A = this chain, B = another copy of it.
Amino acid sequence: MKPINVALIGLGTVGCGVYQTFHIHKERLEELAGSPICISTIVIEHPEKHNKLPPEVNVTTDLLAVANDPEIDVVFEAIVGKEPAFSFLKKCIAGKKHVITANKEMFAAHGKELKSLAESYGTKIGFEATTAGGIPIIQTIQQLLQANQVKSVQAILNGTSNFILTAMRVEGLTFAEALSNAQKWGYAEADPTNDVEGYDALYKLQILSDLIFREQPETGRVKRLGIRDITADKITKSQKSCERIKHVATLEYDSKGNLTGSVEPLSLEENHPLYAVEGVNNAIYLKTDILGDLTLTGPGAGAFPTASAMVEDFCTILKKEQHLTVLS
């Protein structure tokens, strides 16, 4: 039986998680796929650093070779930044490959274009891993809320910020101390700007916005405030009112019907669905018109949660593909 050939782009935390997941759960995934699955190519910047990969894997620095290889069926893209990812994925789609991405910055900027390109080429694009790590929020909205319309979203979409705010409150640390701990534990980068200034959460909010409302808030209707100004004093004051400060991403229509987005620290009351979301967890609180309020909580980052999101996308794509194959 012809194997499903997979290319993996990037072998950082997420890429390694995907690679290991395919190995650990090989049998189960191949049973679901109905075919052998072969990670045939891995693209990395420094192949010399990864000399433990099995010899049958083609380890290369050459993205173009992957895009042009007709034997590759599915591309897992786990690198950062808009480019070269966007140009590369466009080529992959034009080459009739399914693509699964964890690249939020790229997808927040170019997701709409990639989705429409994929539609025109009859390929599938999975982007569950771009938003809220392992929490299946994208597929919940795509597959499970068809009759329901989502009216608004409030979410904790950045685990680093939530870890820092939790540590400040629980351990009585300053922002600088909590950030330093987050960096020690591997929850924050050496340059934490993306996380603590709310850029990362905003990318995810834009992706959710495209999905739910088919548009993003206009630049003038987006507010982005980080958590650097949250002092121990503010945390204590919030606690005294039985509240907790959380870095909340919000998507809603204002009274004039304009879509607005914000990422900002808010002091939440005890009965707010995001109040109890602690540490590196993420959560998404949706208001819908039939079901009512639904909250999903889970790991917002990490090798295996993110790999889970990508591999679940892979399973969904194969399921759809099987329909298509039977049809043709």
Contacts and interface: CB of A to CB of B under 8 A. Distances in A.
Interface in A263-278: 271, 273, 275-276, 278
B147 A139 contact: no
Interface in A306-328: 307-309, 311-312, 314-316, 319, 323, 326-327
A291 B298 contact: yes
A292 B312 contact: no
A25 interface: yes
A148 B312 contact: yes
A300 to B, nearest CB: 10
Contacts of A21: 147, 290
Interface in A96-128: none
A57 B312 CA distance: 43
A273 to B, nearest CB: 7
A304 B291 contact: yes
Nearest to A32: B146
A295 B298 CA distance: 6
Interface residues of A, number: 49
Interface in A143-182: 143-149
Nearest to A322: B323
Interface of A is mostly: mixed
A273 B294 contact: no
A311 B290 contact: yes
Interface string A126-146: 000000001110011001111
A210 B275 CA distance: 33
B146 A143 contact: no
Contacts of A136: 140, 144-145, 294
A298 B290 CA distance: 12
A115 B294 CA distance: 27
Interface of A: 21, 25, 28-29, 32, 134-136, 139-140, 143-149, 271, 273, 275-276, 278, 288-299, 302, 304-305, 307-309, 311-312, 314-316, 319, 323, 326-327
Given A146-B316, A147-B315, 6 more contacts: A139-B143, A143-B316, A144-B312, A147-B314, A290-B308, A291-B308
14 contacts: A21-B147, A21-B290, A28-B147, A32-B146, A147-B314, A275-B276, A276-B276, A291-B298, A292-B308, A294-B297, A295-B298, A296-B297, A297-B297, A323-B323
